[in-house]
Amino acid sequence: MPDQTIDPELISDVLSLQRVAMQLSLASRRRLAIEIEGFGLTVPQFIALRALSNAPEGLTMSELADASQQLSATMTGIIDRLVERNIVQRQRNPDDRRSLRISLSESGKHLIQQIEDQQIKRMTRVFRLLSAFERKEMLRLLTLYLETTLAELPESQPVHP
């Protein structure tokens, strides 16, 4: 049986952390949306491209849907629009003709690289304000929080752990 003692300091910290974490989550998504809009992408499209860029050999629609936390019916539309713009390719799998192999095109690879370069540049501006120790501490705490968050999602199988 876990310790149910009421710790007023814990309660007060959690209230603050809840508020900041919620605002940060919403603001980050918003900033991401603005950042990638400059490249003509939506957030779900970018999530799919990120998953594909971690899988050089490509992914099936089901793998992509799992990795993006989307239904495969939704994935179809997202990939349709990326194929139209020649950002990804759709190929039949000769071994199992039911399944498809989705992969980044050359211009898709270039696009995602550009976006990630821009993101790294921005993050570097922020994190050079912190000491090496603080950066490690932040990484450790964020990773812990990420793990508990992922544990609460169904089927969250990152393609690259």
Return the residue of 1, 8, 11, 98 that touches a second copy, per CB under 8 A: 11
Partner from DNA, a second copy, none binding residue 17, C-beta < 5-8 Å depending on class = a second copy
Near DNA in 16-35, by CB under 7 A: 33
DSSP 40: T
Which one of 13-21, 77-85, 119-127, 148-156 is the stretch in contact with DNA (CB under 7 A)?
77-85
- The 10 Å Cβ neighbour count of residue 9 is 7
Burial class (CB in 10 A: 0-12, 13-18, 19+), 81: middle
Work out what residue 74 binds among a second copy, DNA, none; the CB cut-off runs from 5 to 8 Å by kind.
DNA
Alpha carbons 99 and 140: distance in angstroms, whole number: 39
Q: Which of residues 113-152 bind DNA (CB under 7 A)?
A: none
For DNA, the closer of residues 12 and 99 by Cβ is: 99
Q: Taking CB under 8 A as the criterion, which residues in 62-81 touch a second copy?
A: 69
By CB under 8 A, residue 1 contacts a second copy: no
Q: Is 76 in the site for DNA (CB under 7 A)?
A: yes
d(CA 147, CA 24): 17
